[in-house]
Amino acid sequence: MRINNAGTTGQSRPAGTPPKLSIFSLAARDGNLTRLFVIMVAIFLVMSLARPDIFPTLSNFNSMSVQIPEIGILAIAIMLTMLTGGIDLSVTSTANLCGIVTAIILTALVPPTAAGPQVVFGIAVAVAVAITIGLACGLFNGYLISRVGITPILATLGTLTLYMGIAIAITKGTAMFAVPQFLWLGSGTIVGFVPVPLIIFAALALVFALILNRTAFGFRLYMMGTNATAARFSGINNAHMLVQTYMLSGLLASIAGLIFLARSNSAKADYGSTYILQAILIAVLGGVNPSGGFGKIAGLVMALLSLQFLSSGLSMLLIRYSGSNFLKEFAWGALLIAVMVIDYYSNRRRDRALVEKT
């Protein structure tokens, strides 16, 4: 098993010391985060040097910042469940189901001619229903895992199929469309150039970083993921924690579904089926341990940015070749394995140094 020290440092800080939010101080505390930071900067520099004309430009940043939020939010969802030692494979199905229901409600409540309060009311109802569905999907996952006792990977494999099935049954397999008034959420900007989805993602990343590092819930989550038995004997209700975690995952999935609907103006039962594996990849690359207990939002964000720089850069370098998407897939796989191998060697070196000291 991989030895991973990410995540243990943040909690040992004495109470009262203000947290340092700078990326450098984070990186300095944690070897895995340092490596990720170096990788991220290296990819950025290489791509900028290779295509100085188009890579480090505002328009490229804009197009990248459109691609980041959805997958990033799904990756946070999967990360939370991985911290418990589980996994949530049903996030994309949940997101699509929420997107579809939102599209149906919006079409019914907000006609193209609607204005003012009617639009606000319609959107509020649709969003509320979508989030409720997301929470319900997560609740069902959590119930299957904590009460019935199904292994998370199998329970969510079942619900992945089930939720997708419900979405297919509702839509008969066709795409559903949003209304124009809703699209601001997906393609609008704030202060002229910052895309709204990016702000939502940044806010969610910040909120969940705070939840994980600063609240009792986050502390219990890390504890349960590190040693479920010890957590139970220290008075943590593991079943409750699991249900809450999977509900949070469902909530995040529903938000990703809303953004996806608003950006692409359509929702369909089988959109984004490759997102699950990509989201797992981002979380693992970011230092989240799939067997639970370790992982930081900062690592996840850096992994997300690294992969985005890599895939944007590659598609620019290879604009003449067809199928640069496939090269992206190849590069992501290679990067994942390379990072795991580097982790292996550096952890081994650290362990040896520790042994020699003692």
Write out the DSSP string of 286-355: TT--TTSS---HHHHHHHHHHHHHHHHHHHHHTTTSS-HHHHHHHHHHHHHHHHHHHHHHHHHHHHHHHH
Which residues neighbour 283 within 8 Å (Cβ) at sequence distance 6 or greater?
75, 78, 79, 82, 295, 300, 303
- What distance lies between CA 52 and its chain's CA centroid? 30
Which is nearer to other proteins, 139 or 327 (by Cβ)?
Answer: 327
List phi, psi (to 5°) of 251. Answer: -60, -50
Q: Does the protein bind other proteins through residue 95 (CB under 8 A)?
A: no
Least distance in angstroms from the C-beta of 278 to other proteins: 9
Least distance (Å) from other proteins to the CB of residue 337? 4
Q: Which of 1, 15, 191, 353 binds other proteins (CB under 8 A)?
A: 1
From 114, 168, 175, 239, residue interacting with other proteins (rule: CB under 8 A)? 168
- Min dist. Cβ of residue 25 to other proteins (A): 29
| Distance, CA of 186 to CA of 189 (rounded, Å) | 9
First to last CA, the chain: 22
Instruction: For other proteins, give the closer residue by CB, 21 or 319.
Output: 319
> For residues 123 and 241, which CB has a smaller minimum distance to other proteins in the complex?
241
Choices 21-29, 167-175, 199-207, 245-253 (CB under 8 A): range interacting with other proteins: 167-175
Which residue in the set 45, 169, 206, 319 belongs to the binding site for other proteins (CB under 8 A)?
169
Round to whole Å and give the CA distance between 174 and 103.
12
* Candidate list 277, 315, 316, 346; residue touching other proteins; CB under 8 A: 277
Any contact of residue 160 with other proteins (CB under 8 A)? yes
How far apart are the C-alpha atoms of 140 and 209, rounded to whole Å?
25
Q: Which of 48, 98, 46 is nearest to 70 (CA)?
A: 98
Instruction: Please give the backbone phi and psi of residue 289, each rounded to the nearest 5 degrees, phi first.
Output: -85, 120
**SS3 category, 3:** coil
Q: Does 158 bind other proteins (CB under 8 A)?
A: yes
Assess 162 for contact with other proteins (CB under 8 A): yes
**Contact with other proteins (CB under 8 A) among 204, 231, 282, 284:** 284
Q: Tell me the C-alpha distance between 163 and 156, whole Å.
A: 10
The identity of residue 46, as a single letter, is V
**Six-digit token string for 266:** 């359509």
Site for other proteins in 308-347 (CB under 8 A): 321-324, 326-334, 336-337, 340-341, 344
* 6 near other proteins, judged by CB under 8 A: no
By CB under 8 A, residue 172 contacts other proteins: yes
Residue placing its CB nearer to other proteins in the complex, 104 or 202: 104
Pair of tokens at residue 199: 């702000």
CA–CA distance, 98 with 210 (Å, rounded to integer): 26
Q: From start to end of 192-283, where are the E strands?
A: 194-195, 266-267
Contact 306, 291 (CB under 8 A): no
The total number of residues written for the chain in this structure: 358
User: Rule CB under 8 A: is residue 211 a binding residue for other proteins?
Assistant: no
Beta pairing partners, 267: 176
- For other proteins, which is the closer residue by CB, 162 or 194? 162
Minimum Å distance from CB 18 to other proteins?
35
Nearer to other proteins by Cβ, of 13 and 147: the residue is 147
CB nearer to other proteins: pick between 45 and 340 = 340
Contact pattern for other proteins over residues 112 through 151, marking x by CB under 8 A: --------------------------------x---xxxx
Instruction: Rule CB under 8 A: say whether 183 interacts with other proteins.
Output: no
Cβ-based nearer residue to other proteins, 245 or 289? 289
Tell me which residues touch other proteins (CB under 8 A): 1-2, 89, 144, 148-151, 153-155, 157-166, 168-169, 172-173, 273-274, 277, 280-281, 284, 290-291, 321-324, 326-334, 336-337, 340-341, 344
